[in-house]
């Protein structure tokens, strides 16, 4: 099932949220950016830059603090492809891509929607049953 990531009312990308852990109320997957994503990409690059550790450095707490504040102002939300809003506590985009488009971008959502994980399981089971 495809989900859209919304930022201040605009679609910045989508994901199938290929994995989840209902016990932690988390769903995550590959993030496919839309044409609007470059306008906010620098916010998410702050986090990836701050958490990219080497043996010589630790996480950059100043960048993480700036990232958290800027992410909150983006008013991120998650909705189904049909436009139904999914209640979330937090949405994170981890952008480790390069300017050339190489690398991965992932999205994770802490979901606060009753029945969300049960519905995903039901849809998945129906899909696999239909394939015989």
Give CA 117 to chain center in angstroms: 16
CA distances from 121 to 18, 27, 115, 118, 124 (A): 12, 12, 10, 5, 5
Where do we find the tokens 């932690």? 24
pLDDT for position 103: 67
Please say whether the beta carbons of 107 and 92 come within 8 A. yes
pLDDT digits over 92-130, tens only?
A: 999 988 765 666 899 999 999 889 998 887 766 775 677
The model scores a pTM over 0.85: no
Please say whether the beta carbons of 110 and 88 come within 8 A. yes
Low-confidence residues in the chain, pLDDT < 50: 55-56
Alpha helices in the chain (DSSP H): 41-51, 61-73, 116-130
pLDDT for position 127: 58
């Amino acid at each position: 099932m495809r989900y859209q990531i919304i930022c201040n009312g605009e679609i910045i990308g989508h994901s199938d949220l290929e994995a989840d852990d209902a016990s932690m109320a988390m769903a995550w997957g590959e993030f496919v950016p839309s044409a609007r994503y470059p306008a906010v990409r620098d916010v998410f690059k702050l986090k990836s830059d701050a958490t990219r550790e080497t043996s010589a450095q630790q996480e950059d707490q100043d960048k993480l603090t700036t990232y958290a504040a800027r992410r909150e102002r983006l008013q991120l939300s998650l909705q189904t492809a049909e436009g139904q809003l999914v209640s979330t506590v937090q949405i994170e985009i981890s952008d480790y891509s390069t300017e050339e488009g190489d690398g991965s971008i992932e999205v994770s959502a802490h979901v606060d929607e009753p029945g969300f994980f049960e519905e995903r399981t039901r849809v998945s089971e129906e899909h696999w049953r239909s394939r015989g």
